[in-house]
A = this chain, B = another copy of it.
Amino acid sequence: MATPTPQTTPSGGLRERKKQRTHDALIRAALELFTDQGYEATTIDEIAEAVDVSQRTYFRYFANKEEVVFAVQEMVEARFVAELRGRPASEAPLTALRQAVLGAWDDIGGAIASVVPVELHMRACQMIESTPALVAAHLRRSSDLEEEVSRLIAGREGLDVDTDPRPRVLVAAFGGVMRVASKVWGEGQDCSVTAIRELTRSYLDHIRPAFDDDWRTGQAGRSTGDVNSGRELSTPDKERVRNG
């Protein structure tokens, strides 16, 4: 009689599963309502009612009205950071970022779909772009993530993020490219995960030449303090494939 032998589920107990269901249902209902009738025009009472819970319960799952909008993004970001931490130290910084983001999209695609239809997620992206309050929240989130990633990259390369501007410059450029990519994706027709992978890949190729040097050995660049290796940022379309 030791344990009741919980052959119950792969994902914890019943309580756990119920929570997950409510959580996901809230996201779905919220995105549906937001994209349907607009963010401001939708009240939290409506969302709660659609899932048949109380307003108070909504606020036990999400700290505020915005948070539910970014729940899916958060999954992707978490996956990306995990992926990045797993990249071998031998990779150049931009390569690691690139592989991490592509890898994240690989095994997250299904995970997204299990929560919301990908098409709904895409409509949500468009809505964010056209809602000032959400744009602000999105920029702040991006800024926070970039800070985290900058420190991660600096750590990999053994640099001090407060002294050497290159990690932040690289990550800022990378973040900018990613934001444009997801914006273009949101505006386009093809909402497949493959589409964003390809978009990401081709956009990142544009900045590769500017960051292709090795910060540790000083190949094709300088290694300390002096600003900055972003010298080639302004190049629109150069070939110069010194691909590593």
Contacts and interface: CB of A to CB of B under 8 A. Distances in A.
Interface of A: 132, 135-137, 139-140, 143, 164-166, 169-170, 172-173, 176, 206-207, 209-211, 213, 227-228, 230-241
**Tally of this chain's copies:** 2
Given A136-B137, A140-B136, A207-B227, A234 B232 contact: yes
Contact of A236 (B136, B140, B164, B230): B164
Nearest to A240: B236
Contacts of A232: 210, 234
A234 B234 contact: yes
Contacts of A173: 230, 233
B236 A207 contact: no
B237 A211 contact: no
Contacts of A241: 236-237
Identify the 8 closest CB pairs spanning chains A and B, nearest first: A136-B140, A139-B139, A136-B136, A206-B227, A236-B238, A232-B234, A210-B231, A234-B234
A176 B238 CA distance: 24
A164 B234 CA distance: 10
